[in-house]
């Protein structure tokens, strides 16, 4: 979320659905053209990371970069669902982008809660990952955490796949590249509501490693704290 720029917004890229934050549609179409389907969730995640981060203004580079502030002002977050189909494959929905941001100094992406894939009955779709991009390497926000919990209440907390049960989680991709025109998929932050785990995954030379950042502990239906590790 940020101050809206006075200039006209560019046309949306193919497969990207502009979203009005004050009138969020109930459904977003799937599958995303040119994506998958994939047999494993890991292949789907890695492909999604590259696809989302390469969208226009998806990354602002590092905060220490000379042009970071300008890139930040132009930046946008993109979001999408990775879902599991009755064909036992992983697909991604179209990408959403919130064209008008409503708070200075922040960015957000409002993702419709339901995937509309005409090939399958709505109740047959399993919701696995709620994906979005962060313009730089920043942790998950309170809004991120609260939204994935609301999606778990709506869709369920686990999905049965051919490889076993997968827990619904929130993923925020980031790039540490100082060249936003050619961003690299350098990692993501992840929150899994059923375990409370808050973690950071990083990619170095195609080797992925995980660091636990803490545990989200809900002290009531409306409040939580993060116990840092």
pLDDT band at 105 (very low <50, low <70, confident <90, very high): low
Assess whether pLDDT exceeds 60 at residue 5: no
Confidence of residue 32 (pLDDT cuts 50, 70, 90): very high
Residue 12: pLDDT band by 50, 70, 90 thresholds?
Answer: low
Question: How many CB atoms are closer than 10 A to CB 126?
Answer: 20
- Judged by DSSP in three states, 44 sits in helix
Q: Which residue has the higher pLDDT, 47 or 74?
A: 47
Provide the pLDDT confidence category of residue 101 given band limits of 50, 70 and 90: low
C-alpha–C-alpha distance, residues 132 and 48, integer Å = 10
Which residues are CB-neighbours of 201 under 8 A, at least 6 positions away? Answer: 187, 188, 189, 190, 208, 209, 210, 211
% of the chain beyond a pLDDT of 90: 73
Decide: pTM greater than 0.75.
yes
Average pLDDT, the chain: 90
């Amino acid at each position: 979320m940020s101050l809206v720029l006075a200039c006209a917004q560019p046309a949306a890229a193919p497969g990207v659905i502009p979203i009005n934050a004050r009138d969020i549609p109930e459904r977003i179409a799937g599958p995303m053209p040119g994506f998958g389907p994939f047999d494993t969730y890991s292949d789907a995640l890695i492909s999604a990371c590259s696809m989302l981060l390469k969208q226009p203004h998806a990354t602002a580079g590092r905060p220490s970069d000379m042009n970071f502030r300008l890139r930040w002002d132009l930046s946008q977050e993109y979001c999408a669902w990775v879902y599991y189909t009755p064909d036992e494959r992983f697909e991604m929905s179209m990408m959403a982008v919130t064209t008008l941001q409503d708070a200075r100094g922040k960015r957000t992406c409002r993702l419709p809660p339901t995937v509309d894939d005409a090939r399958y009955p709505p109740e047959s779709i399993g919701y696995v990952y709620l994906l979005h991009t962060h313009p730089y390497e920043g942790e998950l926000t309170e809004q991120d955490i609260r939204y994935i919990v609301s999606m778990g209440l709506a869709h369920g907390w686990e999905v049965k796949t051919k490889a076993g049960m997968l827990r619904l989680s929130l993923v925020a991709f980031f790039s540490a590249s100082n060249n936003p025109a050619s961003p690299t998929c350098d990692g993501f932050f992840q929150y899994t509501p059923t375990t409370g785990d808050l973690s950071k995954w990083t990619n170095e030379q195609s080797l992925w490693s995980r660091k636990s950042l803490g545990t989200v502990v809900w002290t009531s239906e409306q409040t939580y704290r993060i116990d840092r590790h």
